[in-house]
Amino acid sequence: MYKFESIKLDKNHPQHLYVQLYKMIKELILLGHLKEADRLPPVRAMSKMLEINNVTVVKAYEILEKEGLVYKKIGSGTYISKQLINQLNEVDQESKQQTNIRSQLMEQGHIKVEKNMINFASATPSADLFPVEDFKQVLNEVLDRDKGYAFDYQEGQGYYQLRKILKDYIFHYGIKSEVENIQIISGAQQGIDIISKALVNYGDYVLIESPSYTGAMAAFNSRGAKMIDIPLQKDGLDLDILEKKIKTHKPRFIYVMPNFQNPTGISYSPGKKKELLKICKNYNMYIVEDDYLSDLNFYSEDNTTLKKLDEDELVIYIKSFSKIFMPGLRLGFLVIPSKLHENLLMAKHTTDISTSGLLQRAFELYLDKGIWQQHLKYMEDKYKERFVVMKESIKEYFPEYISYSLPLGGVNFWFKLPKGFSSKELYERSVVKNIIFAPGNLFFMNNNDEGYFRLSIAAVNPSEIKYGIKILSIVIREYIDKRRDQRNDSLIKPIL
Ligand SMILES: Cc1ncc(COP(=O)(O)O)c(C=O)c1O
């Protein structure tokens, strides 16, 4: 009986007594105080001990039985069920396993997304924003028009008509290029990879921003490059450190995202863009510019690309459409300095011969018909709505000790927890509340957890953003305020 002495019912509580009793017995089971085959006190004994009537106890036992936590043996009594305890242990094991799987995935730069989660981790748009119907029409039109040719190998450099229309497209953004300097790629990731393949020999140095895009770091790593990271400041790279590193290491190139950088959302100031070009010209070093998002400019007065400012053919420009179109299409393009044309073409050829002809042709038609401009406008509006809600929610809910500086466009928001707190731990706490984000260590070469984290608005709608930020704020407060209280409690104080 002693195990049940901890049960205290509150007769003044609005919750029914039988519910209180059921919950307390369940807790004893879950905590392991009641074990398999232990017997519950007979109804009359329990009711006497708790000074309640028999019916209350019967009702509580009935719920426990319905849940499979106990079973009745006729003429003998009510016992704790074995099966369910095993199941509960399994659940516990499963959640431990899940934590292990999560951290293994995380080490590899992946995050498991369940259907009901609010996904601040993914920086690619949710499928409901894809222009499926419009694309179906251009696909059909291409099939009727080009028949089997659409399925032939294409020129390695890319379908000529597409390169031609892209030349005009980038001209609107101030980038002057010849059709010959445009190389179609199967997504920006492939672009980064073939640039490394063409330019990097094992052991060569490559400069990157710190923090940087994980996919690029992985590509450079896979080619045996030695990476050196240059700290990012609020207005772009630390140019003093950059120059020192160029002098000492003579790198092959620097990889940068000057507009709405991933993961920080930082944009380089116009001055720093120009200065970067000047330094690279002085040292005759290539710049790989990953323009994954300059189109999504909401409040910046300058989203100029380095390529637009490049008068010396120093910039290898990579354009991805994944954030504003459909990532699964695997389409993008490079604008290449003439000198590198052959090398890059060879690298592309040995990678996949050519990008899908059908998709290149359909995309060309999509651009040609002007549907692209409508879609771009649609995506800008959608993202801007999310952007505004995100900004407002952060201001409303986030505790003042979370540091951040708001981006002026794009989809990524970058935060820092107070010193000594871990974004991985915050992740573990928020994932159980069905909120996921990208812990900051993933974006640093040393993988150190310094409390940074990235929230992206690409895959969440405005109401999810508001709700998600509210819950995340609660999780943050629970993590940080409680831990601080504990730390304060255990302070070593002088005896006065
Ligand atoms: C900065 C950056 N570059 C490149 C890529 C890859 O883009 P794509 O889907 O075009 O290969 C991503 C994808 O998230 C990215 O964030």
Buried b (16+ CB within 10 A) or exposed e, 38-70: eebbebeebbeebebeeebbebbbebbeeeebb
Question: Domain ends where: 334, 355, 370?
Answer: 370
**CATH number of the domain bearing residue 166:** 3.40.640.10
Asked whether residue 325 falls in the same domain as residue 235, the answer is yes
- Rounded Cα distance, 303 and 295, in Å: 8
Q: How many A from CA of 143 to the centre of ligand 1? A: 29
- C-beta of 290 in contact with ligand 1 (< 6 A): yes
Asked whether residue 249 falls in the same domain as residue 356, the answer is yes
Of all helices (H) and strands (E), which one includes residue 315?
A: strand 315-320
- Mean pLDDT, all residues of the chain: 91
- Strand 118-119, strand 435-436: pairing: parallel
Q: Which pLDDT does position 2 carry in this prediction? A: 65
Task: List CB contacts of 364: < 8 A, sequence separation 6 or more.
Answer: 159, 161, 162, 165
Q: What sign does the CA torsion over 399, 119, 130, 412 have?
A: positive
Q: Does the residue 282 lie in any domain?
A: yes
Q: What sign does the CA torsion over 430, 431, 433, 438 have?
A: positive
- Rounded Cα distance, 350 and 465, in Å: 43
- C-beta of 332 in contact with ligand 1 (< 6 A): yes
Q: Give me the domain span that covers residue 419.
A: 115-128+374-489
- Residue with the smallest CA separation from ligand 1 atom 2 is 292
| Distance, CA of 65 to chain centre | 43
Asked whether residue 187 falls in the same domain as residue 325, the answer is yes
292, 295, 329, 333, best to mutate for ligand 1 pocket (most atoms within 8 Å of CB): 292
Asked whether residue 366 falls in the same domain as residue 384, the answer is no
Mean pLDDT is lowest, of 23-27, 187-191, 355-359, for: 23-27
pLDDT band at 484 (very low <50, low <70, confident <90, very high): confident
- C-beta of 256 in contact with ligand 1 (< 6 A): no
- Strand 332-335, strand 182-185: pairing: antiparallel
Of all helices (H) and strands (E), which one includes residue 319?
A: strand 315-320
pLDDT band at 90 (very low <50, low <70, confident <90, very high): low
Across residues 185-190, what is the average pLDDT?
A: 97
**CATH number of the domain bearing residue 440:** 3.90.1150.10
Percent of the chain with pLDDT strictly greater than 90: 75
pLDDT(348) > 60: yes
Asked whether residue 163 falls in the same domain as residue 80, the answer is no
Q: Does the residue 496 lie in any domain?
A: no
pLDDT(474) > 80: yes
Q: What sign does the CA torsion over 151, 153, 158, 164 have?
A: negative
- Rounded Cα distance, 47 and 54, in Å: 6
pLDDT(492) > 60: no
Based on the structure, what is the number of domains in the chain? 3
Asked whether residue 380 falls in the same domain as residue 349, the answer is no
Q: How many A from CA of 133 to the centre of ligand 1? A: 24
Asked whether residue 337 falls in the same domain as residue 415, the answer is no
- C-beta of 469 in contact with ligand 1 (< 6 A): no
Q: Which pLDDT does position 94 carry in this prediction? A: 57
- C-beta of 189 in contact with ligand 1 (< 6 A): yes
Asked whether residue 45 falls in the same domain as residue 17, the answer is yes
pLDDT(18) > 70: yes
Asked whether residue 330 falls in the same domain as residue 207, the answer is yes
Residues 54-71 pLDDT 10s: 999 999 999 888 878 889
Q: Which pLDDT does position 103 carry in this prediction? A: 60
Percent of the chain with pLDDT strictly greater than 70: 91
Mean pLDDT is lowest, of 110-114, 255-259, 395-399, for: 110-114
Question: Of 16-30, 31-45, 257-271, which one has max mean pLDDT?
Answer: 257-271
Q: Does the residue 306 lie in any domain?
A: yes
Q: Does the residue 332 lie in any domain?
A: yes
- C-beta of 187 in contact with ligand 1 (< 6 A): yes
- Rounded Cα distance, 463 and 469, in Å: 10
Closest ligand 1 atom number to CA of residue 124: 14
Q: Which pLDDT does position 102 carry in this prediction? A: 58
Asked whether residue 158 falls in the same domain as residue 301, the answer is yes
261, 322, 356, best to mutate for ligand 1 pocket (most atoms within 8 Å of CB): 322
Q: How many A from CA of 64 to the centre of ligand 1? A: 52
Q: Which pLDDT does position 8 carry in this prediction? A: 84
Q: How many A from CA of 13 to the centre of ligand 1? A: 56
Across residues 329-355, what is the average pLDDT?
A: 96
Q: How many A from CA of 292 to the centre of ligand 1? A: 6
